[in-house]
Amino acid sequence: MSNPAIRKFCESRFRWLIVATATGVIALAGVLPLVDEYCDNNRSRSGLTEELVRARETAAALPQYEKRAAAIRQELESLEARTVDDSTLASFRSRLVDIVHESGCQIRQIDVGSPVRRAWTQGDDPLRESAEASSQNGATPFSLERRSVLLSVDGAMPAIHDLLGRLEQEHTLSHPHRVQMQASTTGGENVMLELELWLFALARTPS
């Protein structure tokens, strides 16, 4: 060995410590990236495990969600069948005429008004005539349609009672906004009934 530094290193009693230290530093430099990679993979595996647990919980609850959704859908379909809009107005009017005749009353007047529409909000009241009082509630993608039907009939008191009972049994979404009875102008024991019904329907607001 011609190099004095190398000879000095070989003769040094600390040469094994130096070699071991150098070897450890080199090894550590090579291992550290592997440790980082292992930690990253471990965190990723923990995240995937949590996602898998949540996915299994969601899958287990899915039948319950589907059952609830089916119940809500059935309820909505039932409510929609009770509404009166432009597509069902003619059949409702025809049914109303039949009810009057079946009760033994005579129609004096039947007048169907134009629909009045306003925005429908969460927790809204269909009997509210203006949307201003409910404007602070959450908005929905629906509008409320209200249609007024004025019905005036003549008949004996038992027939009038029968008519009102038949109307009460109807499943239409309606509200008797005004009811008035007075002596009939035709004389006898007949009375005249004037009834204003509010018919309701919900329509999806065009986007």
Q: What is the pLDDT of residue 48?
A: 74
By residue count, the chain amounts to: 207
- Burial pattern 134-161, b for ≥16 Cβ within 10 A else e, equals beeeeeeeebbbbbbbebbbbbeeebbe
Q: What gap in Å lies between CA 74 and CA 62, rounded to an integer? A: 18
Per-residue pLDDT of the chain (207 residues; tens, 9 = 90+): 455 654 554 555 544 555 445 455 455 455 556 555 656 666 677 777 888 878 888 788 888 878 887 887 787 777 777 888 888 889 989 999 999 999 999 999 999 999 888 888 887 788 776 655 555 567 878 888 899 999 999 999 999 999 999 988 888 888 888 999 888 776 678 899 999 999 888 887 776
- The two structure tokens encoding residue 34: 């592997």
If phi over 0 gives left and psi between -120 and 50 gives alpha, with beta otherwise, what is residue 204?
beta
Amino acid at 154: D
> How would you classify the pairing of strands 106-112 and 174-183?
unpaired
Q: In this structure, are residues 78 and 171 in contact, taking their beta carbons and an 8 Å threshold?
A: no
Rounded (5°) CA angle 113-115-120? 150
Answer whether 0.75 is exceeded by the pTM. no
Helix (H, G, I), strand (E, B) or coil at 33: helix
